[in-house]
Amino acid sequence: MDKKVYETILNGRKLIVEYGQLAKQAAGSVLVRYGDTVVLVAVTVSDQASESDFFPLTVVFQEKLYSVGKIPGGFLKREGKPSEYATLSARVIDRALRPLFSENFRNEVQVVINVLAVNNDNDVRIAALFAASLAISISPIPFNGPIAGALVTIDNNGKIIINPTLDELNNGKMELIVAGTRDAINMVEAGCQEISEDLVLAAILKGHDVVKELISFQDQIVQAVGKQKMQIELFSVRQEIQDFVKANYQQALITSANIASKQERYHQIENINNAALMVYEEKQYKNEKEKKRVMLELNTCLHNVVRDEVRRQITMDKKRLDGRKVDEIRSLTSEIDLLPVVHGSALFTRGETQVMTIVTLGALGENQIIDGITDEEGKRFMHHYNFPPFSIGETRRMGSPSRREIGHGALGEKALAQIIPSEKVFPYTIRLVSEVLESNGSTSQASICASTLALMAAGVPISAPIAGIAMGLVMENDHYTILTDIQGMEDHLGDMDFKVAGSEKGICALQMDIKITGISSEILQEALLAAKKARKVLLANMLATIATPRNHLAPTAPKMKTFMIPIDKIREVIGTGGKVISALIEKSDDVKIDIEDDGQVTIYHKNYESIEKAYQFIKDIVWPAAVGEEYEGKVVKIEKFGAFVNLKEGVDGLIHISKLSDKHVGKTEKIVNLNDLVRVKVLEIDAKGKIKLGLVKIISK
């Protein structure tokens, strides 16, 4: 097949699609060039439907370091497990694509994104999302797309910039990715510097305008090279099973769905499900495959009874599972200082969702080193999120963080980063760990609340307290209801999970996932305003526990001293091969020292005495002596032409033989010997920094 090339202009930069040359055995593949950023996306689909109760979509974001001219670190010198950036990029693309597949499509679909070249002025996530949508759209895979995405920022003058350069993004007040179809928005993710709801909505809508242009471009390509869609049998439940459930279990499930307690509700529903499954377990089947299929249909039918009842009550009766109003928040409690020894801790509870966050402060040198395709080399603020199985009363294998845990931690980090003080104001590395202790929905937003409390308790001078809330949506035909503070089942059975975090002043982070094809700007606006109202309630509760950051650190937190030294003295402080600074650290009880390129020095230790000792050592090196001043020192070397005296750590001066006495001295040892303690006067410091001394007196021999 001959290569076909299609081209358009996206914000002054070329967007080029190449089709027909690469990865031809995949169901669909395209190479997309956005400026100097190049991605190859290949999609494949299984021939048979899987025996699962969900659509098995996998998005793999292959971050290759050759794309930015780097060789991977480590012993193996090859890429290992996905980086955090790769995981988060895959999640963004997954969340945008997933709503456009039928929920009853059960064939496994894999989307593999190969990042081949990266110029960070042309965001690779936008190119990858575009390429993924196009590769699926031209393939035989059933898909209700195409979709596209746009990157948006706002400059300091309030101007909205679409698909900004790296400098524009770094200097902007927002990093927002919006995705959608031609008619609606279906995914939003953003970090914002306390921006108003109106401006955020305007940025989303302006980004959606670009999305529409990109979809029109995709439509042209699909019309030219698109393959006929495969004929598949969508998953459905046979009538016999529907009748069985309706006659025997529907009313019991509806009653159980109205139990307020999560654990009791789940327990009752599980008992009913098990009773129904037991009936079909005892039936005769042709083979194991048929049995699995029937049991899957029965499980789905039982689930749908609960789903339909919960959704009906919310949209028609405005009634929620736990009896709350649609805009009502669950009961709130906030506590601080739960743990000794640690540098800060807090507990935040919202209904049956509970998160404890712990703060740890460290030296700047303890920041996280990043080796990836972005320009980010390290970060001094981290938020990690852990979701153990006991938080939902289950058992499962525990290991490294899941993609979900990484994503929730990153969302909290995105929000909290907006209020963290700068390195100059607060020269510490800050690590937050949010431990989910109970979960019934919106743990990521509870982690933001707990983290804010913990930071203030730890004495971190944040610019403003922030809180997070999760908004939900249930749409049935022309009826829709927006829910404030959704719990687990409302999230699972609803159509939207819209997380909004911010301060009293404005929004700090957004993340919207939906299960329908898209939502209107009117629904978005309504949800944002409801979230703002809820945020004020959360902040009032939190500030009643601690109103402002403490003006001191915990006794166990590392103390620090910051000062400036001349840039040309940095090398002297470090010494050849780090010899001087290593000796200095050892003599000062293992202090930690960070030296910046601009000459800023920060010393850390658990006690001030060790910090002061290290400071004096550095001071002696940097500001060693002054002409005319007298110093005490030890004779460290004898030469024919005089004696070398150590004045301070790393600083020696020479007493020429002619300056040992007013009289003629024939031999240096006649006056001074090795290890004599002497008082000397600085006579001269030459252009090379060499110090010339005169002997004042011998103190001891």
Give the DSSP letter of residue 69.
Answer: T
H/E/C letters for each residue in 123-166?
Answer: CHHHHHHHHHHHHHHHCCCCCCCCCEEEEEEECCCCCEEECCCH
The CA distance from 468 to 502, in Å, is 6
Q: Judge whether 497 is annotated as a binding position.
A: yes
The CA distance from 564 to 577, in Å, is 22
Contact 519, 474 (CB under 8 A): no
Kindly state the tokens that stand for 601: 């020095």
* CA atoms within 13 Å, Cβ hemisphere of 654: 14
Which amino acid is present at 617?
F
- The string of DSSP codes covering 581-608 is HHHHHHHTTS-EEEE-TTSEEEEEESSH
Contact 310, 490 (CB under 8 A): yes
DSSP β-bridge partners for residue 152: 162, 176
The CA distance from 62 to 116, in Å, is 9
Give the DSSP letter of residue 373.
Answer: S
Kindly state the tokens that stand for 427: 């020269």
- The string of DSSP codes covering 79-125 is --SPPHHHHHHHHHHHHHHGGGS-TT--EEEEEEEEEEE--TTS-HH
Pairing mode, strands 429-438 and 378-379: unpaired
Q: Crossing angle for the helix pair 608-622 and 579-587, nearest 10 degrees?
A: 150
Question: Hey, is 453 helix, strand or coil?
Answer: helix
- Distances in Å between the Cα of 154 and the Cα atoms of 57, 162, 528 are 33, 9, 18
Q: Judge whether 491 is annotated as a binding position.
A: yes
Rg (the chain; Cα; Å):
33
Residues tagged in the binding site annotation: 491, 497
Residues tagged in the binding site annotation for Mg(2+): 491, 497
